[in-house]
Chain A
């Protein structure tokens, strides 16, 4: 070992001794605060919730999202009871055609409400007399 390295080693040894002396002189108040900090850290580590328990905190949100998806799925595929299924997907287009049709609107304008009410009442009355 060359003398330079040896001197550096001695220097380091002396520096370490001084620093350790300095550590040993840390006052009681600081030591006490460090001990408190350590206990707080250990307590924090010990009181953390397990992962499986932590996942429960996400359950309400997950449940709500799942329920919404389920409802959407059911509504999408649901056929109304007692109604014939629409043929293909042209029904909405037909509705639009009807609405756009000027003659259909004329028919609606010529709607005779009182006549149809009277006719309906007659039908109901004859049905009751038949029964």
Chain B
């Protein structure tokens, strides 16, 4: 007898618990990388968190009943749509604000003194090297055209294959390969061979 519900499907209690556990495990596995991808695209921590949260919610509500192997590309498709919406809204807002006679900097967003405070621990050379390489990579990623950045992050960080990336990006596999190739070329031209 149906006793519980996940997404749009009625399940028995044990099925629902198993499904919920699987979804929890899946989301826990992608949330940090998803945040990083959203942050690279939006360049704003709170917006990136909002985008990931919305994507989680929509996946859980609408697609929880789909086979678990479909979740990853679906989740990233939702996330990419959300990121695109936010970027569009931001563009519109930017145009409106540009016309306003008085506009100040975001005075509310004062830097957190604790976050700004230098760590008392001495930074090893290796860590500094990593920091520098990471900053350089993130900056270069930020300068990539959106589709190239998207293809690179999904393939490299999330490890999606070409077909899954195509689903997530809503384009053909050929386009994914093109965007990815161009992204790698652009990054290499800017960064040389990265060291780790």
Residues of B within 8 A of A7 (CB): 188, 193
Interface bin, chain B: 35 or more
Option from B8, B20, B35 in Cβ contact (under 8 Å) with A42: B20
- Are B193 and A22 touching (Cβ within 8 A)? no
The total of chain A residues at the interface (CB under 8 A) is 33
Q: Can you list 12 residue pairs at the A/B interface with Cβ under 8 Å?
A: A11-B184, A11-B187, A11-B193, A18-B133, A18-B196, A22-B134, A26-B35, A26-B36, A40-B53, A41-B61, A45-B61, A45-B64
Residues of B within 8 A of A46 (CB): 4-6, 16, 20
Q: Does A110 contact B (CB under 8 A)?
A: no
- Are B53 and A37 touching (Cβ within 8 A)? yes
Q: Does B83 contact A (CB under 8 A)?
A: no
- Interface window among B21-29, B97-105, B116-124, B161-169: B21-29
Q: Which residue of B lies closest to A49 (CB)?
A: B5
- Are B137 and A15 touching (Cβ within 8 A)? yes
Q: Can you name 7 extra interface pairs (CB under 8 A) apart from A19-B137, A42-B20?
A: A7-B188, A10-B193, A15-B187, A37-B57, A38-B27, A40-B53, A44-B60
Bound-state Cα–Cα, A51 to B65, Å? 13
Bound-state Cα–Cα, A14 to B195, Å? 6
- Are A34 and B7 touching (Cβ within 8 A)? no
- Are B2 and A50 touching (Cβ within 8 A)? yes
Bound-state Cα–Cα, A8 to B4, Å? 49
